Amino acid sequence: MTTGNIKNFEEQENKILLVEDEDSLAIGLAYNLMEEGYSVQVASDGRNALEQFSRENYDLIILDIMLPYLDGFEVAGRIRKISEQVPILMLTAKSGIDDRVKGLKIGADDYLVKPFHLDELLLRVRGMLRRKRWYKSRTASPEYHFGNNKVNFDTLSCKTPEGEIKLTVQEALLLRYFLDNRGRVLSRREILKDVWGMEPGVETRTVDNFVARLRKYFEENPKKPQYLQSRRGAGYIFLNDPDASEK
């Protein structure tokens, strides 16, 4: 299979690019996603995925890591150079804990470990698309300042000490959550539940990696954060008045 182009009969706004080289898995997932009412296109290798991505607008990318020609990391990295906003769900191997971290660092929004239950995938997809829609519909007070940072939550563009950057939707949601709850210690579980909509098990690396990303953007010294601080054994707290934090 080179490229499957499978259209839904129903009118459907959510278009998913599924990048998976295992034919049987790709066909099964595409079928089930279409049953849920999504429009699905399949790319069976990394090059193909980028070609399709450059031609069409997608609402979500489901991206396997082990792919011919270009692997999922490479594909995610290149997609992020073109679009900061399209949600990326990575499919990782069970053994590859480093892969999950690497994927999140490159710009994936979430990951699923293979083999996964179909229901779990559909739940994640639904959640990611819902957050994207919810995010788009938020227009009140789009600008926020802290320190030398200015964040525009409409465009997701930010002025930081490092220069102009663009946030991914998931990064923006997390930052927004910290801002809405500033001055409050937030546990990783709480964050995962409220921002990702996940009932967390022991898996909290996702939060840590996203916090690291935000610190890299906004902190003068990410190792000694002024705004997004850790509270050992408790979680994270956002302080927008760093002088008041020394307690």
| Adjacency order of strands within the sheet including 157-160 | 143-146, 149-152, 157-160, 163-166
Binding part of the chain for Ca ion, among 58-66, 96-104, 121-129, 167-175 by CB under 5 A, reads 58-66
Position among 45, 59, 64, 171 found at the interface with Ca ion (CB under 5 A): 64
From the CB of 78, what's the least distance to Ca ion, in Å? 18
Cα–Cα distance between 184 and 181 in angstroms, integer? 6
Of residues 99 through 138, those in contact with Ca ion by CB under 5 A are none
Q: How far is the CB of 92 from Ca ion (least distance, A)?
A: 10
Residues 6 or more apart whose Cβ sits within 8 Å of residue 3? 41, 42, 43, 44, 48, 52
- In the complex, least distance from residue 66 CB atom to Ca ion, rounded to whole angstroms: 4
Report the nearest approach of Ca ion to the CB of residue 91 (Å). 8
- Smallest distance, Å, CB 62 to Ca ion? 12
Residue number of the CB atom closest to Ca ion: 66
Binding to Ca ion in span 10-49, by CB under 5 A: 21
Tokens found for residue 204: 């909290």
Q: How many residues does the chain have?
A: 247
Measure the CA–CA gap between 152 and 158, rounded to whole angstroms.
6
80: nearest Cα among 98, 99, 53, 55: 53
66 vs 212 by CB, closer to Ca ion? 66
Contact status: 59 vs Ca ion (CB under 5 A): no
Which of these, 77, 28, 24, 25, lies nearest to 49 by C-alpha position?
A: 77
How many Å apart are CA 27 and CA 236, to the nearest integer? 41
| CB closer to Ca ion out of 43 and 195 | 43
Closest separation in Å from C-beta 106 to Ca ion: 17
Element (H, E) at 99: helix 97-106
Cβ-based nearer residue to Ca ion, 88 or 207: 88
**Of residues 142-181, which lie at the interface with Ca ion (CB under 5 A)?**
none
Q: Pick the binder of Ca ion from 66, 129, 165, 212 (CB under 5 A).
A: 66
Number of residues that bind Ca ion (CB under 5 A): 3
Q: What amino acid is encoded at 166 in this protein?
A: K
Q: Point out which span in 61-69, 96-104, 108-116, 155-163 binds Ca ion (CB under 5 A).
A: 61-69
Nearer to Ca ion, 62 or 158 (CB): 62
Specify whether the CB–CB gap between 205 and 122 falls below 8 A: no
Q: Which residues are near Ca ion by CB under 5 A?
A: 21, 64, 66
